[in-house]
Amino acid sequence: MKHKEKKKEKKTKKSSISTVLYIIALVVGITGVTLLINNIYLFNYTVGQYVSQGYSASAVRQSLLLTQLLPGLAEPIALYGGMAFMLFAVGKINKNISKYFLKQNESDNLIEIDDAQEVEDNNLENNDIDTEIESRNNIIDGMEESISTELNSETIQ
């Protein structure tokens, strides 16, 4: 029973590391999306400020597009999206490796159990063989006694 409980504890512990990585990846992804929305809002606010100062909206958007909006969009996607993707991938890899090692551990335990069962079976077979040899030795001893008594009775006659 203790062995089964340990297996369950190990399984949940290994999967919990992957779960933590997934949660961290989700938080990083949400942070990236929030920063992306913030940059779009900041772009629109800046365009509104320039337009209120008297500049034309198309000229302001054209000039701020390459200097503010594209870097503001690319940065959160590249940094936070990349980190979230890497954390998710590491979580998946960790989960697969944990499953592999768990299967290896289980197969090693099964081999140990099979080896122990084989040793026990060999001991039982050896005990059976010893019992068989002893019974045959008793039969042989009985035959030797009967032969020796027959020989003694023949020599006496």
Could you tell me which of 107, 106, 114, 111 has the C-alpha nearest to residue 10?
106
**Confidence tier at 98 by pLDDT (50, 70, 90):** confident
What is the token pair recorded at 124? 């039982």
Number of domains composing the chain: 1
pLDDT score, position 100: 84
Tokens of residue 140, six digits: 């042989």
Query: Mean pLDDT across the chain, nearest whole number?
Result: 79
- Please state the pTM of the whole predicted model: 0.56
Quick one: pLDDT at residue 1? Answer: 46
Residue 142 structural domain: 2-156
Span 121-128, mean pLDDT? 64
Q: Evaluate whether 77 touches 40 at the Cβ level (below 8 Å).
A: no
Whether 127 shows a pLDDT value over 70: the answer reads no
No. of helices (H) and no. of strands (E), the chain: 4, 0
CA-closest candidate to residue 68, choices 50, 81, 92: 50
Please report how the helices 2-52 and 81-156 are oriented relative to each other, as an axis angle in degrees rounded to 10: 170
**Statement: residue 124 has pLDDT above 70:** no
146 vs 97: CA distance, rounded Å: 72
Q: What is the mean pLDDT of the segment spanning 5-21?
A: 65
Q: Which residue has the higher pLDDT, 59 or 133?
A: 59
Sign of CA dihedral 119, 125, 127, 133: negative
